[in-house]
Amino acid sequence: MNTNLPAAATITSVRRLTADTSLFTLACNDRDAALELSSFQPGQFLELSLPGFGEIPISYCGLPSACGAIELCIRHVGHVTSPLRRAGPGDAVGLRGPFGHGFPLDGYENQDLLLIAGGLGMAPLRSLLLALLDQRSRWGNLTLLYGARETGALLFLDELLDLTKRSDIRIQLAVDRREQCLEGPPNCRVALLPALLDGLAIQPEHTCAALCGPPVVYAYLVAGLKQLGLSGNRIHLSLERRMKCGIGRCGHCAVGSFLCCSDGPVFSLTQLQGIEGALA
């Protein structure tokens, strides 16, 4: 694949998830490109181009699919993402990827897994969750902790509620505040995300944690996980930085001497130890 040239793709469907976030399904116009773009690891990302506006890094949000459909969950916040609010089926976009390192699935073999998502961090973790459920027998206990500002901001709530019917996964939700009119989902507490770690029963030497959330919560989550006895190489975090090229050239996404795009975006806590500003 040419490093600068996005492959042509088309939006096939759009689902509004919350007031400011939508789930897009895309299809590549070209078979080879589709194959390349849809063989990814959860936690990896691609570069999405919106013609006339620019290109942005977005995490894969679904499963690698045989038919080449790609799911992306996008929050409408700025120059490129806001106009995507107006985009609909049939609109042309461009894709480059997959880029970066995802979550180390092979290292998770036989481990208990603790997935912790904050806000939009659910996007890459959904991909991981779906991958884990897809090969459920390879892993031990599965736990998902997911927090958002308010009930209305919880992404993929319908899917998560469906999953709570299964016995092989534990799901705990948290919201900072609950809207008056809404009755919260059954397994949802009014609490800050790190509070869900309090007293969580895990076996630290058999558990790996995968985190994705806004930078501000990482420090608290990490402290909580350490409290539970997890060592740094069992904690994986997905970082977000400004990115332009996605392939380690433009120089914007440095984290210490790592580049977030090519060395990350998923790092182990051990890797990030002592790096100024890594966990903000």
Ligand X SMILES: Cc1cc2nc3c(=O)[nH]c(=O)nc-3n(C[C@H](O)[C@H](O)[C@H](O)COP(=O)(O)OP(=O)(O)OC[C@H]3O[C@@H](n4cnc5c(N)ncnc54)[C@H](O)[C@@H]3O)c2cc1C
Binding-site partner at residue 123 among ligand X, another protein, none, CB < 5 to 8 Å by type: ligand X
Nearer Cβ to ligand X, position 81 or 207? Answer: 81
* Rounded CA separation 215/120 (Å): 11
Is residue 241 part of the contact set for ligand X (CB under 6 A)? yes
Is residue 16 part of the contact set for ligand X (CB under 6 A)? no
As given in the structure block, the two tokens for residue 119 are: 């806000």
Within 10 Å of residue 165's Cβ, how many Cβ atoms? 7
Binding-site partner at residue 8 among another protein, ligand X, none, CB < 5 to 8 Å by type: another protein
Task: Report the candidate in 58, 74, 68, 70 with the shortest Cα–Cα distance to residue 18.
Answer: 74
Binding-site partner at residue 223 among ligand X, another protein, none, CB < 5 to 8 Å by type: none
Is residue 156 part of the contact set for ligand X (CB under 6 A)? no
Measured CA distances, 117 to 103, 122, 146, 213, 241 (Å): 14, 5, 5, 5, 17
Binding-site partner at residue 275 among another protein, ligand X, none, CB < 5 to 8 Å by type: another protein
Measured CA distances, 114 to 230, 267, 273 (Å): 11, 16, 21
Binding-site partner at residue 45 among another protein, ligand X, none, CB < 5 to 8 Å by type: ligand X
Residues that bind another protein (CB under 8 A): 1-6, 8, 49, 51-55, 77-79, 81, 83, 86, 92, 94, 215, 240-242, 244-245, 247-259, 262-263, 274-277, 280
* Rounded CA separation 14/239 (Å): 26
Shortest separation between residue 34's beta carbon and ligand X, angstroms = 19
For residue 23, list its beta bridge partners: 15, 73
Within 10 Å of residue 20's Cβ, how many Cβ atoms? 15
Nearer Cβ to another protein, position 1 or 190? Answer: 1
Is residue 75 part of the contact set for ligand X (CB under 6 A)? yes
Interface residues toward ligand X, by CB under 6 A: 45, 56-59, 73-75, 77-81, 120, 123, 240-243, 265
